[in-house]
Amino acid sequence: MSDDFPILAQKINGHQFVYLDSAATSMRPAYVLDRIDAFYKSSAANPHRGVYALAERATAAYEGARASVARFVGVDADEIVFTRNASESLNLVMYCYAALRLGPGDSIVIPISEHHSNLVTWQIAAAKTGAELRYLYVDAQTGYIPDGEIEKKIDKTTKIVAFAHVSNVLGALFPVEKLVSRARDAGAITVLDAAQSVPHLPVDLKGLGVDFAAFSAHKMYGPMGIGVLYGRRALLEEMPPFLYGGDMIEYVREQDTDFAAPPHKFEAGTQNAGGAVGLAAAIEYIDSVGWERIEANEAALMRRLIKGLGDLRHMSIIGDADPDARRYGVASFNIDDVHSHDAATILDSYGIAIRAGAHCAHPLLDYLGVKASCRASLGLYTTERDVDALLECIPLVRRKLGYGD
């Protein structure tokens, strides 16, 4: 599969490129790049605005992409709103739903491990409305939410429960069914951050029963600049628009406006139609590889990686260090006495790209008492050779910095 990705064929610093930062952004196969190129070369008029052939083609491509996304996550097309990224999708829910409904005495519940996109957003909601922001604290050793924590924190005051499907630091899969069931009993709505799950496992949003979900095309082999918000139809209908402008209206009079129905009500101005085409192509590409192959490949590589890291000296793994535990795409670790930025810089000199730092999760790292970490993350193109290259080069990091062993 790695042959499908032209960017991976290059050498970096004289070494064959090893890309292990797919959780930050995945690479794109030629199939996706060609489809975007073809759209701009043959069909890129402004969707929804013209009646001539090219405009009709652009509209069909854009709305066809919406239908593909809807099928991909098991919902209806009019429940899919195109945004710029997962962060914007979460902001839309905050501004157009939470900020208008919450007040003092209400609570918002999120895990401590959330990405800043699904954390700062709720801090702002709390600050705007006087609601309390409460955290589910994960087990510091395993990264899972301990028994009892969900029951303790989600209660009748809770109006929003927002959580990642898969943590971008821990790689843990959170118990969506349990969180949704507890939230429902409390009368709260659920917001799923699916940014790190949609590239790694089949996601059926209707089956999971969440009210909103957010993800980005660029983490699932699609282009940057386009994201998705899923919203249950009844909720989208109740919500006011996010931004105002062209193409989100039904009729405009001098003093007031009738807005379009969802999802168009939330898509003001010319949209990223080329991005939508690229996202639909990424879904076709994922479908062509097949979940069975993707999941089997990633599970085997993750086992190899966690086992290999665990066998190294001077190593601490963040989250579940059991190679047989299922981690989804992400392994975070630290090398004793080495700052993650130094480790990542030295690994880059061998052509290996990993992430270093706080991974947009300062509260989690503070809670775990870790300042920063290295993170290696996998995509469907990752090979055993990539994993082994990392495992072979990690010991060189300490040696390069002058440690004896």
* Minimum distance, C-beta of residue 169 to ligand PLP, in the bound complex (Å): 9
Instruction: Tell me the three state secondary structure of residue 206.
Output: helix
* Minimum distance, C-beta of residue 359 to ligand PLP, in the bound complex (Å): 8
What CA–CA distances, in Å, run from 246 to 38, 227, 249? 26, 20, 7
How is 216-246 classified by DSSP, letter by letter? EGGGTTS-TT-EEEEE-HHHHHHSPPSS-ST
Residue 181 CB partners (closer than 8 Å, separation 6+): none
* Minimum distance, C-beta of residue 179 to ligand PLP, in the bound complex (Å): 15
* 223 or 351: CB nearest ligand PLP: 223
* 120 or 338: CB nearest ligand PLP: 120
Whether the CA torsion 348, 352, 357, 359 is positive or negative: it is positive
The alpha carbons of the chain give a radius of gyration, in whole angstroms, of 22
* Minimum distance, C-beta of residue 160 to ligand PLP, in the bound complex (Å): 16
Cβ-contact 205, 213 below 8 angstroms: yes
* 84 or 178: CB nearest ligand PLP: 84
* Minimum distance, C-beta of residue 357 to ligand PLP, in the bound complex (Å): 12
* 242 or 350: CB nearest ligand PLP: 242
Q: How far apart are CA 43 and CA 25, in angstroms?
A: 27
Q: Is 360 a catalytic residue?
A: yes
Cβ-contact 194, 165 below 8 angstroms: yes
* 4 or 21: CB nearest ligand PLP: 21
Q: Which of 96, 360, 374, 393 is catalytic?
A: 360
**Cβ of 324: how many Cβ atoms within 10 Å?**
9
What CA–CA distances, in Å, run from 221 to 32, 217, 388? 8, 7, 23
* 87 or 340: CB nearest ligand PLP: 87
* 129 or 216: CB nearest ligand PLP: 216
Q: How far apart are CA 279 and CA 36, in angstroms?
A: 9
* Minimum distance, C-beta of residue 84 to ligand PLP, in the bound complex (Å): 8
Structure tokens at 75: 């919902």
Cα-Cα-Cα-Cα dihedral of 268, 269, 273, 279, to 10°? -30
Cβ-contact 378, 22 below 8 angstroms: yes
Residue 135 CB partners (closer than 8 Å, separation 6+): 109, 110, 111, 112, 153, 363
Which positions lie near ligand PLP, rule CB under 6 A? 23, 85-87, 115, 117-118, 164, 168, 193, 195-196, 216, 360
* Minimum distance, C-beta of residue 130 to ligand PLP, in the bound complex (Å): 26
Closest CA to 77 of 271, 236, 239: 236
Which residue type does 10 have? Answer: Q
* Minimum distance, C-beta of residue 72 to ligand PLP, in the bound complex (Å): 17
- Parallel, antiparallel, or unpaired: how do β-strands 373-377 and 355-357 relate? antiparallel
Q: How far apart are CA 357 and CA 371, in angstroms?
A: 8
* 43 or 121: CB nearest ligand PLP: 121
Catalytic residues: 360
